Structure 1
Amino acid sequence: MFAKSKSFLFSMSKLFHQHQQWREMGAMAKVRLKWVKNKNLDHIIDTETDLKAACILKDAIKRSPTGFLTAKSVADWQKLLGLTVPVLRFLRRYPTLFHEFPHARYASLPCFKLTETALMLDSQEEIIHQSHESDTVERLCRLLMMMRTRTVSLRSLHSLKFDLGLPDNYEKTLVMRYPDHFCFVKASNGNPCLKLVTWRDEFAFSALQKRNERDAVTGEDGLYREFKRGQSALTFAMSFPRGYGAQKKVKAWMDEFQKLPYISPYDDASNIDPESDLMEKRAVGVLHELLSLTIHKKTKRNYLRSMRGELNIPHKFTRLFTRYPGIFYLSLKCKTTTVILKEGYRRGKLVDPHPLTRLRDKFYHVMRTGFLYRARGVGMVSKEELLLDKVDDEGPEEEGSEEEEIVEGSELEEDSEDE
């Protein structure tokens, strides 16, 4: 028994020594990096802001008992939709989706209903939600499994609905069909929340672990086999802005970071020093996993802020995005701050697009067609065209060069508020 105790104390001493080393690394290599502008990724935010607003309006019209919305009812939705133009002007910009007609009683009041094209796209979306429901349930379970109490407020979840690819009425359809997975509860402050009923071991496997295991199976990477034997740490894919990768201090810092043990976002981290470099890598892993769960590999910073406590990430977590520009990109387009997982994109396109993102590419094609040919009215997009898997391989287009511009003197304020 004494031998076992001695062995245990030796192991704890070794762990403590390693932990002290991990803490010292941050002090040894604090590198201050300037924000770098990426035109391709910024353009994605530009186009998808309008796409998301159009999708929200489409769902609102579909939910309406009358089957249409009046210009008056949506007049104050501009901030909610994240638009830089009035909602009425936005609706009129896309006649291929929204058909304008006068109100039956008030002739001067514009009303909008969905066009046949929009209804066809919506029916295709319903089919995708039904055929990929198991995938949606898994992503929702994973999100809840990362939360400290396995719960998330419905307000926070509603903000992430578009990014997670949840159906419009997920509370009444998706959630209610899986009582062994989810239930509704009330938080201590009275806010309604969604709670995970049972922990799912089969889902407790991060995107980073999946990628490394896949590479190991295909023989592309022997690192994962070493990781499983406890001989190495898993590494994050890095794509540095031009000029950063060549800087010795940045390379040395990233090498130290990559060598730190990888803590899965689904593992208990309560025994890790919150001020240590190990906890910082764990926080990076949590943000990496959450962005991996989104179908567009991006979301707004404010949506993450509302879940910060449950995710057990630092109060000033924006610095993690700016400290690791090889993993994340912050876009300041459209009067908001959006964080993007860089490995999810290549030359302005999603590397592994979800079927729902392909449908949204069609949606964007219809929007752009209506914008370019508004004078001709609706009907510029054929039904046959919309039944294709892709429409001219179009999504939000890549624009500009691949160059990334270092903006001198630009600092991202942690406490600045988005819309």
Structure 2
Amino acid sequence: MMMKSRTVPLQSLHPLKWDLGLPDNFEKLLIPKYPNYFQFVKALNGVTCLRLVQWQEEFAVSALQRSNESKEMGNKYEQFKKGQTTLAFPMRFPRGYGAQKKVRAWMEEFQKLPYISPYEDSRQIDPNSELMEKRVVGVLHELLSLTIHKKTKRNYLRSLREQLILPHKEGYQQGKLVNPHPLARLRDKFYHVMRTGLVYRNKGANMIPEDILLNDVEDETGPHESEGECETGDDCYVETSEIEEV
């Protein structure tokens, strides 16, 4: 129900079956019992997928919405349903981290952004906006709430990014930083010198390979993106306790 096409490849579900509490052969034992909910279809590339047959509105309520609805919140949740307020994610910071004023100020503004249910169509939201960031947090929060131990490996979600409309922008591309910090450039040059063992002394920069010299033009214009899959410290994606396990 969170997928934009209401369809998910079976091969993407298999790595998640342990975390979701599904039996090994769920596609043979479980799915056929609910023909009114699911059906098997073939994608254009020949991959077998599971498709939602009928939308069930009662299931399109996120864990965050349910937890707020069940709490004694006076009329706050009613205000949220009327669009008059928003929902905040429960958060706990490591000791000392949450005490930083800038962090708290940013989080307070982030929490005030409208809550976008992971079951709502979000294709019209600006992918570069803070609203989309909050929507992504909501999707990951909901996915984790569906798992047995409230965590999973981020690698298991890679094949679902497009269907879940999760961002592909990441920090690394083809093993290199997409937008390197000036200090990172200097560290790379220092590493090259230490690795090769060159001593430049009187000959100066003439011995330094041209490809590692400072490039003022590139520094001013920024690095150029190249085609291919981005890998960020793929660590953009959460676990909750640490995104190593989303």
Same fold (TM > 0.5): yes
| Secondary structure of 2:77 counterpart | helix
Q: Is the 8 A contact 2:19 2:152 kept in 1?
A: yes
Aligned residue in 2 for 1:338: 245
Q: How far 1:227 sits from its partner (Å)?
A: 1.2
User: In structure 2, what is the equivalent of residue 114 of structure 1?
Assistant: none
- Which residue in the other structure is 1:223 paired with? 76
Matches within 5 A, 1:180-195: 180-195=36-51
Q: Displacement, 1:212?
A: 0.5
Residue 277 (structure 1) aligns with: 130
Relative contact order, CA 8 A, sep 6+: which one is greater? 1
Partner of residue 329, structure 1: 241
The residue type equivalent to 2:9 in the other structure is S
Residues 257-336 of structure 1 aligned to structure 2 (within 5 Å): 257-315=110-168, 316=170, 318-319=235-236, 321=238, 328-330=240-242
Deviations 1:117-173 (A, max 9, x none): xxxxxxxxxxxxxxxxxxxxxxxxxxxx00111111111101100000012221111
Which residue of structure 2 lines up, in the alignment, with residue 148 of structure 1?
4
Q: Give a deviation string over 1:368-391, Cα, whole Å, max 9, x none.
A: xxxxxxxxxxxxxxxxxxxxxxxx
Conserved 8 A contact 2:144-2:150:
yes
Q: CA deviation at 1:222?
A: 4.6
Alpha-carbon distance in 1 for matches of 2:82, 2:36: 35
What SS does the aligned partner of 1:159 have? helix
2:85 is paired with a residue whose SS is coil
- The one-letter code sitting in structure 1 at the alignment partner of 2:236 is R
- Counterpart residue identity of residue 284, structure 1: V
Map residues 33-44 of structure 1 onto 2, 5 A cutoff: none
**1:174 correspondence with 2:174:** no
Number of corresponding residues: 182
Following TM superposition, by how much is the alpha carbon of 1:221 offset from its aligned partner in structure 2, in angstroms? 5.8
Q: Following the alignment from structure 2 to structure 1, what is the Cα–Cα distance between the partners of residues 93 and 11?
A: 35
1:224 CA displacement:
1.6
Contact preservation (8 Å) 2:154, 2:237: no
Please say if residues 212 and 221 of structure 1, whose CA atoms lie closer than 8 Å, have aligned partners that are also in contact.
Answer: no
Task: Return the alpha-carbon distance in structure 1 between the equivalents of residues 95 and 77 of structure 2.
Answer: 28
Q: Is the 8 A contact 1:233 1:261 kept in 2?
A: yes
Deviations 1:209-238 (A, max 9, x none): 0000001xxx25653232123221100000
Identify, as 1 or 2, the structure richer in helix: 1
Contact 1:153–1:194 (Cα < 8 Å) also in 2: yes
Q: Distance in 2 between matches of 1:262 and 1:305?
A: 24
Asked if structure 2 preserves the Cα contact closer than 8 Å seen for 1:298 and 1:338, the reply is yes
TM-score normalised according to structure 1 size: 0.42
- AA in 2 matched with 1:295: I
Structure 1 equivalent of residue 88 of structure 2: 235
What aligned pairs does 1:356-375 form with structure 2 within 5 A after superposition? none
Per-residue Cα deviation, 1:318-371 (whole angstroms, up to 9, x for no partner): 3253xxxxx82226xxxxx322xxxxxxxxxxxxxxxxxxxxxxxxxxxxxxxx
Residues 229-255 of structure 1: per-residue CA shift (max 9 Å, x gap): 322110000011111111000000100
Q: TM-score, normalised by structure 2?
A: 0.70
Assess if the C-alpha contact under 8 Å between 1:206 and 1:265 holds in 2. yes
How many Å separate the matches in 2 of 1:287 and 1:294? 11
Distance 1:163 1:239 in 2: 24
Aligned-residue offset at 1:306: 1.3
Asked whether the equivalents of residues 265 and 286 of structure 1 are also in contact (C-alpha less than 8 Å), the reply is yes
SS in 1 for 2:144: helix
Following TM superposition, by how much is the alpha carbon of 1:257 offset from its aligned partner in structure 2, in angstroms? 0.5
Q: Contact 2:110–2:134 (CA<8 Å) still a contact in 1?
A: yes
* 8 Å CA contact retained: 2:86, 2:113: yes
Structure 1 residue 160 and structure 2 residue 16: aligned?
yes
> The residue matched to 1:254 in structure 2 has which SS?
helix
Cα distance in structure 1, aligned partners of 2:81 and 2:7:
30
Judge conservation of contact 2:115–2:135 (CA < 8 Å) in 1. yes
Q: Is the 8 A contact 1:223 1:234 kept in 2?
A: no
- Unaligned 5+ segments in structure 1 are 1-144, 322-326, 332-336, 340-419
For structure 2, the residue ranges without an aligned partner over 5 or more in a row are 171-233
Q: Which residue of 2 aligns with 1:35?
A: none
